[in-house]
Amino acid sequence: MLTLSNVRKSYGDLVAVDGLSLTVAEGEIFGLLGPNGAGKSTTVHMAVGLLPPDAGTVTIGDLGPPTHADVRRMLGVAPQALALYDELTGDENLRFLGQMYGLSGARLSARVDAVLALVGLTDRRRDRASTYSGGMKRRLNLAAALVHEPRLLLLDEPTVGVDPQSRNAILDQILALRAAGHTIVYTTHYMEEAARLCDRVGIVDHGKLLAVDTVEGLIRAHGGRPVLVAQTDAGERRIETDDPVRALTELSASHRVDDFHVARASLEQVFLNLTGRRLRD
Ligand SMILES: Nc1ncnc2c1ncn2[C@@H]1O[C@H](COP(=O)(O)OP(=O)(O)OP(=O)(O)O)[C@@H](O)[C@H]1O
Ligand SMILES: [Mg+2]
């Protein structure tokens, strides 16, 4: 559905995206996980044709580059920097964008109603966007990406500043969009979101894609072994092992074990092992 081949982008001397290649399959949620400045937004902007790559190519499906008008219509983007008209109401923002994508009449009204309901803003639809809270603006920004039912949806940190309840609702709605057949690219620096949502995750740092796999696969390949953590009569024991049950059996033969758990690596650990740095510094 989306192929980036060796794309590069520099801002002056700063290399923001450094020869990045990836393929997003139809119907999957593909996560781009990386810290601030990793190049996620720059990658998204190139993927949707808002920013020309310095080198490399972007292809949408088998249709060609996203700069073609008819290819663009298949794309929806919720940019990290909000793209809303403050002086228009929520309703007017969505109607305006829908019209730009060629919707009109009853179809436009139905789509606006549907996406407002989806992001929980129906009761605020007649208010100007300037009177929305930060989280409401973020939700309207997401609705704007959805109004024309794009096949490929790129969401750049769509939950930043959104309260936990609305965040959960948004994540559920993104899963529902996948179930309805949409393909989704999702950037985040929240590893919990990537783990909950994404079929596959690409780890990005300094404009490079360091690894791509399912969350399970990334943890298996780059997370290190599970650790048995046990409270014993001789204090806490931490045993790195591929077989925690066996390690526990052996430990309990020589010690009284009062409590234990098995700590599995997270995406945080994967990032640390791949880069030598923490995802959140
Ligand atoms: N318009 C711009 N002009 C100059 N430098 C830029 C511009 N946009 C991005 N950069 C730089 O390019 C690098 C990558 O930025 P980008 O916004 O793509 O990262 P990101 O992964 O989206 O980060 P964040 O998680 O903070 O959103 C950063 O070093 C950033 O400072
Ligand atoms: Mg960004």
For the chain, the domains span: 2-219, 225-264
Across 73-106, b (16+ Cβ under 10 Å) vs e yields: ebbbbbbbebebeeeebbbbbbbebbeebebeee
Instruction: Reply yes or no on whether the pLDDT at 237 is more than 80.
Output: yes
* CA-nearest residue, atom 25 of ligand 1: 36
The predicted-structure confidence for 153-208, as pLDDT tens digits, reads as follows: 999 999 988 888 888 888 998 999 999 999 999 999 888 999 999 999 999 999 99
Sequential DSSP letters for 7-41: EEEEETTEEEEEEEEEEE-TT-EEEEE--TTSSHH
Ligand 1 near 280 CB (within 6 A): no
Sequential DSSP letters for 150-171: -SEEEEESTTTT--HHHHHHHH
* CA-nearest residue, atom 24 of ligand 1: 36
> Which protein residues have their CB within 5 A of the ion that is ligand 2?
40-41, 80
Ligand nearest the Cα atom of residue 50: 1
Ligand nearest the Cα atom of residue 46: 1
* CA-nearest residue, atom 26 of ligand 1: 36
| CATH number of 2-219, picked from 3.30.750.24, 3.20.20.70, 3.40.190.10, 3.40.50.300 | 3.40.50.300
The predicted-structure confidence for 93-129, as pLDDT tens digits, reads as follows: 999 999 999 999 999 999 999 999 989 999 999 999 9
Ligand 1 near 36 CB (within 6 A): yes
Instruction: Reply yes or no on whether the pLDDT at 278 is more than 90.
Output: no
Ligand nearest the Cα atom of residue 43: 1
Ligand 1 near 40 CB (within 6 A): yes
Percent of the chain scoring above 90 in pLDDT: 79
Instruction: Reply yes or no on whether the pLDDT at 280 is more than 80.
Output: no
Is the pTM for the entire model greater than 0.95?
A: no
Cα dihedral 232, 233, 235, 239 in deg (nearest 10): -30
**CB count in 10 Å sphere of residue 26:** 12
The pLDDT value given to residue 56 = 97
* CA-nearest residue, atom 7 of ligand 1: 11
